Structure 1
Amino acid sequence: MSIKKKLGMGIAAAALGISLVGGGTWAYFSDTEVSNNSFAAGTLDLAVNPSVVIDVDNLKPGDTMVREFVLENNGSLDISSIDLATAYNVIDAKGDNVDDFGKHIKVLFLENADKTGDGWVIGDYNDVISETTLYDLQNMTPDASENLQHWITWLFGLNGEGSGLAAGTSDQMYVAFEFVDNDADQNEFQGDSLELEWTFTAHQTEGELR
């Protein structure tokens, strides 16, 4: 056999060996599994029932109006706090006001029965948690879901629920409005009206390790 043939066969054999080695790198066991994952966000869904807390006319100084409403958490996430923002507009019927009608409307926040484990009885002003005027309240942002209680309920261990509002639960709220009789001339408010807007803003609880 000639030298050229021997070299040619050697080259061919070497190429075949490289090919076999290369092909052999794919000759191993394998197994594949697919992980299908998802992320779904929860919901905050706060409702106020009824949506109109108070609608009253023909007021006079000294009148007090007690109203109740329900805050409902219809979402899937717990609520840590509910901010209450107040805004109002006074309609001066005669154009003679020198004072703000909102300074003469007192707001009395009464016990939240679900938070204290107690109920509110009409005329029982021992259940007043805090009070202020609409004028001052517009510069405040109280937490409507906070567990504030009168000392009597604390004394007898009527603690009820904690602050916030768990998913699928509700709070029975009580509030009183008083047109304060200041024993002075309040004739400027005759025929006037006040439009009150309460905005409740729910906040989520803190993030957690899941």
Structure 2
Amino acid sequence: MFGKQIVKKILFFSLFLALFFVMYVKFFKKNEIVETEVQTSTDTLYNSNIIENVNYVSKDNDGNEYIINAYQGEIDYSNSNIIYLTNVKALIKLNNSENITITSNYGKYNSENYDTIFSKNVIINYMDNKITGEYLDFSLERNSLIISRDIIYTNLENILKADVLEMDIKTKDTKIFMYEDTKKVNIRNKDSYGNN
């Protein structure tokens, strides 16, 4: 009789252990799957901040229009007003002046105040003027355009090399200068440029 009770207890204990093992495997394996699914959906959310064929249009109080297009944009998680752009093209339509076009490889656009940083292979075309550089800070709010790093400014007659060019968008007043006082802005006539 005593032996039967021991066998029952061993069977009961074995059954309890088997049941515990099955429940452990079933529930803990499911939790691992759920965590993987959550991770996958987080990855999907991360990729969803990329926008294809970006287009923004804005106007200032004077009626000047600013149109910016990009192949791709990525919204900054820490500030949703900031969009990082790739293959950027911008058009500035000024009321009382010629249009200004800007292209660059990259950009950083603020959708709140329309300020834009253009970088890498920046090209500005305005009337018969072409300005190239590596960095452009454009602001409708400040009415300014500041291009720097390896500036080459060409018009019908001259080629100019400098470190920085600042332009007031409304008045077209322009300052061209070098960072170091000992260096001078290099200006050459186009006709004599190829001869030297």
Q: TM-score, normalised by structure 2?
A: 0.25
Larger Rg: 1
Q: TM-score, normalised by structure 1?
A: 0.24
Q: Which has the higher helix share?
A: 2
Q: Which has the higher strand share?
A: 2
